[in-house]
Amino acid sequence: MPAIHSLPPAHRPLEDALALGPALLARARSAEAAPWLAASLVEGPAVVLGAAQRAARVVDLAACAARGAKVLRRATTGTAAFLGGRGVVWTLALPHVASLAPDATARTLLNRNVRGFLKGFSRAGAPAHYFGREWISLQHRPAALLGLDAAPDGAVLIEVFAGHDAALAIPPELAAPDERVIDRWLGKAPAALSDVLPARLSLEALARTVVEGVATRAALPLIDGGEAPELAAERFRPITAPGDPAPPGASAAALARVPIGWIEAAALGDAPGRVWVGGDVLTARWLLDALGRGEAPLDAEASPLEGATLADLSALARRALALGRAPEG
């Protein structure tokens, strides 16, 4: 009988919680091909960047260091989350996009798979809604952030971030100028979990209730996943390079505004004809890599894509390539 394999909620260093994503995705892609779900109780202060966000475009690294806030990068794309104190990271790995919702496609990935999280938050005492793109609303306020990635074989990784002691918005004093000009919350005031959930509810109870909500919405049993996987936490060490994750030697990034915020691209000086493509967009990293190689994906519809269009990304990649070829002076 199909089931969701689950790890019990556990306190983890934030780096380990981020490393859990690739580890559970590998399990979901194994011969057993089962969904995996876990909840990690974490502590900040930290900024968790999306997989394709250039660090200096989102945060002031010096200001973060002065405050003692680590800057880390997750495996999923999308926008940054600030964890000012205690928080929760839910990690959902699926062998294919329709593992939990039979009618899900790559382009409806979040819309279908977020419903279990909405059920869990509502059960915990905070009516939850999802209006598209990158955040979940609790009690009518943005309070949980979504990230996603997808493998070329169709396996999917979704991460959900929520802060208990502080809202997810990057404090203005830690944000870079290009980040401060974006209204990421559509005029609403982001909330910490402590603002919208019953005071008596522990983080452990919340984490467990949301996990159970995902299983209930999918009409699948939860089974014990056994021992936690070995984690490659070193991949998620703090970021210190302003241009990260663009490769060393990349030209200055070209920027373009899109509905989700910014997309960006930079020519690679040591690889003629190649560009790095990134930004706030929610998509599969393989699609960004393909665009950077100048390859039109054979089936772009096989990739999730939220917050920008394929045409937006392709045009910016061409612009960055042209800028990289322009003579100096």
Domain for residue 303, yes or no? Answer: yes
pLDDT (0 to 100) of residue 326: 55
Same domain, 228 and 258: no
Partners of 135 in beta bridges: 145
In the chain, how many domains are there? 2
Domain for residue 244, yes or no? Answer: no
Domain for residue 297, yes or no? Answer: yes
Helices (H), the chain: 14-28, 55-58, 61-67, 109-113, 115-123, 177-180, 193-196, 203-218, 285-292, 310-325
CA–CA gap between residue 271 and residue 37 (Å, rounded): 39
Degrees (nearest 5) of the Cα angle 126, 150, 25? Answer: 80
Same domain, 164 and 105: yes
Rounded to 10°, the helix 115-123/203-218 angle is: 130
pLDDT (0 to 100) of residue 299: 64
Same domain, 258 and 189: no
Domain for residue 266, yes or no? Answer: yes
* Cβ neighbours for 49, distance < 8 A, ≥ 6 positions apart: 55, 58, 59, 71, 72, 73, 74, 80, 239
What's the chain's Rg over C-alpha atoms? Answer: 19
pLDDT (0 to 100) of residue 1: 65
Give pLDDT tens digits along the chain (329 positions): 699 999 999 999 999 999 999 999 999 998 778 999 999 999 999 999 999 999 999 999 999 999 999 999 999 999 999 999 999 999 999 999 999 999 999 989 999 999 999 999 999 999 999 999 999 999 999 999 999 999 989 999 999 999 999 999 999 999 999 999 999 999 999 999 999 999 889 999 999 999 999 999 999 999 999 988 999 999 999 999 999 999 988 887 889 999 999 999 999 877 677 999 999 999 999 999 999 988 866 566 778 999 999 999 999 999 988 876 654 44
Of 185, 209, 236, which one is at a domain's C-terminal end? Answer: 236
Rounded to 10°, the helix 310-325/285-292 angle is: 40
Same domain, 226 and 264: no
Domain for residue 246, yes or no? Answer: no
Same domain, 284 and 224: no
CATH number assigned to the domain comprising residue 157: 3.30.930.10
Domain for residue 206, yes or no? Answer: yes
Same domain, 225 and 259: no
Domain range enclosing 125: 4-236
Domain for residue 144, yes or no? Answer: yes
CA–CA gap between residue 243 and residue 252 (Å, rounded): 9
pTM higher than the cut 0.75: yes
Domain for residue 243, yes or no? Answer: no
Same domain, 199 and 230: yes
pLDDT (0 to 100) of residue 124: 96
pLDDT (0 to 100) of residue 296: 67
Same domain, 203 and 177: yes
pLDDT (0 to 100) of residue 282: 97
pLDDT (0 to 100) of residue 25: 97
Same domain, 41 and 70: yes
Same domain, 228 and 130: yes
Same domain, 204 and 126: yes
pLDDT (0 to 100) of residue 270: 72
Same domain, 117 and 22: yes
